[in-house]
Structure 1
Amino acid sequence: MTDENPASQLATHRSGPPLGERAGADDRATSAVAAPAPRRVMVVGCAGAGKSTITVALNRAHGLPIVHLDRLYWKPGWQRSPDDEWELVLRELVAEDAWIHDGNYDSTMDFRLPRADLVVFVDTPRRRCLYRAVKRRLVGNRIHDIPGCPENLDREFFGYVWRFPTVHRPRLLERLAGHPNVVRLRTRREVRRFLAGLAAPSPG
């Protein structure tokens, strides 16, 4: 989306290519404006995309509380939360003044997106997502631990990651198209620049 560091000025005008188009190597943002630090952030993308890395960095930079949506949604034994219960939980969380939501959950975006000051879409290629997801499950990562839900590699999980670019990503891009402040990270270089900008001290 931009070759200028998106973390240095988090509010960016989408005056370059639309969200649904992949930018070339020379793509650059043509305008950006300074904005107050975000108070409510959504970090979205495929499993294995690197959402939690971005989430932790945003937490360190802005001190916003992290909400790992998977930990709230899944009950022991990988049982799903009932739809009405899940929506009630999220509506209460969305009403809070400050948060970082790590996770997609498309059915709840209608009421979460309008409250978000910033959306970070970690748009990582499919094969890299698969590699990271498998590595995470083999090596382990406490960030992703869900009580009572042991990590597993099953057909449903692999199917979700494999289908994400063709099934879930287009829907996500459509949802995000109407939001005024979206940072889209498509390459490792863009991720590094974003993280470096968060770690850099604020001017003045």
Structure 2
Amino acid sequence: MRRILVYGVTGSGKSTLARRVGERLGVPYHSVDDLTWDPGWVPVGHAEQRERLGAVCAGDAWVVDSAYGIWRDLVLARVDLIVGLDLPRWLSLQRLLRRTVRQIVRRTATCNGNYETWRGTFLDRESILVWHFRSFTRKRRRMREWHADPAFPVEIVLLRSPREVERWVAALPSRAGQA
């Protein structure tokens, strides 16, 4: 396991898990948000996203925390393992709300110096909360289809609860024998 995709719905904990997996295995973690958003919430163009993700995927070892449709093919062509976070909607939405409110109140940068705002989070049609509802069913269906397909060319681990996530992480080999 040297090239890993952590996949799931918005708010499921992909970034947190991907970071933990990278640390545990001693593999570089790459935040997709950092690769697809520039400072000032400027979206990176599709061609540039493909370039950035192509460079990551060309490496021998990496963990990424999502796979957008415009460059998913690059990840799937090189990935060794997909970890799907198939958590209930109520849990991923609760996590998303808690994280977003905490980042707004504490003024914690989300990515590349960008900050969530009350207006952007709750009133904008493109907010992360709206995105959760728009993409939940599609992303969940996709990871379940991958998992159910015996011809799918990549190993897929589908984790359905925080307890399963913790057990799976605990079973990973640790870098240099560290626990």
TM-score (norm 2): 0.80
Q: Which residue of 1 aligns with 2:111?
A: 146
Q: Distance in 2 between matches of 1:51 and 1:160?
A: 15
Contact kept, 8 Å, 2:40 with 2:114, in 1: the verdict is yes
Which is further off, 75-84 or 157-166?
A: 157-166
Equivalent residue of 1:56, what SS?
helix
Q: Which residue of 2 aligns with 1:99?
A: 62
The answer on 1:160 being equivalent to 2:131 is yes
Equivalent residue of 1:121, what SS?
strand
Structure 1 residue 175 displacement after superposition? 5.2
The answer on 1:63 being equivalent to 2:26 is yes
Against the structure 1 CA distance between its residues 108 and 144, is the aligned structure 2 distance closer, same or farther, given a 3 Å change threshold? Answer: farther
Against the structure 1 CA distance between its residues 200 and 89, is the aligned structure 2 distance closer, same or farther, given a 3 Å change threshold? Answer: closer
Contact kept, 8 Å, 1:52 with 1:143, in 2: the verdict is no
Q: Which amino acid aligns with 2:160?
A: R
Equivalent residue of 1:58, what SS?
helix
Against the structure 1 CA distance between its residues 192 and 185, is the aligned structure 2 distance closer, same or farther, given a 3 Å change threshold? Answer: same
The answer on 1:53 being equivalent to 2:16 is yes
The answer on 1:181 being equivalent to 2:155 is yes
Figure out how many residues of one structure are paired with residues of the other and give that number.
Answer: 165
Q: Distance in 2 between matches of 1:88 and 1:123?
A: 29
Q: Which amino acid aligns with 1:158?
A: L
Contact kept, 8 Å, 2:10 with 2:136, in 1: the verdict is no
Q: Distance in 2 between matches of 1:168 and 1:193?
A: 23
Q: Distance in 2 between matches of 1:144 and 1:104?
A: 22
Q: Which amino acid aligns with 2:31?
A: H
TM-score (norm 1): 0.71
The answer on 1:137 being equivalent to 2:100 is yes
Equivalent residue of 1:43, what SS?
strand
In the alignment, structure 1 segments of 5+ residues that lack a partner are 1-37
Against the structure 1 CA distance between its residues 132 and 121, is the aligned structure 2 distance closer, same or farther, given a 3 Å change threshold? Answer: same
Equivalent residue of 1:107, what SS?
coil
Deviations along 1:15-47, one digit per CA (max 9) or x if unpaired, are xxxxxxxxxxxxxxxxxxxxxxx1111111112
Q: Distance in 2 between matches of 1:45 and 1:143?
A: 23
In the alignment, structure 2 segments of 5+ residues that lack a partner are none
Q: Which amino acid aligns with 2:158?
A: R
Runs of 4+ in 1 over 3 A off after TM superposition: 141-144, 171-177, 199-202
The answer on 1:109 being equivalent to 2:88 is no
Against the structure 1 CA distance between its residues 101 and 165, is the aligned structure 2 distance closer, same or farther, given a 3 Å change threshold? Answer: same
Against the structure 1 CA distance between its residues 146 and 165, is the aligned structure 2 distance closer, same or farther, given a 3 Å change threshold? Answer: closer
Q: Which amino acid aligns with 2:138?
A: V
Q: Which amino acid aligns with 1:163?
A: R
Q: Distance in 1 between matches of 2:115 and 2:139?
A: 25
More helix by share: 2
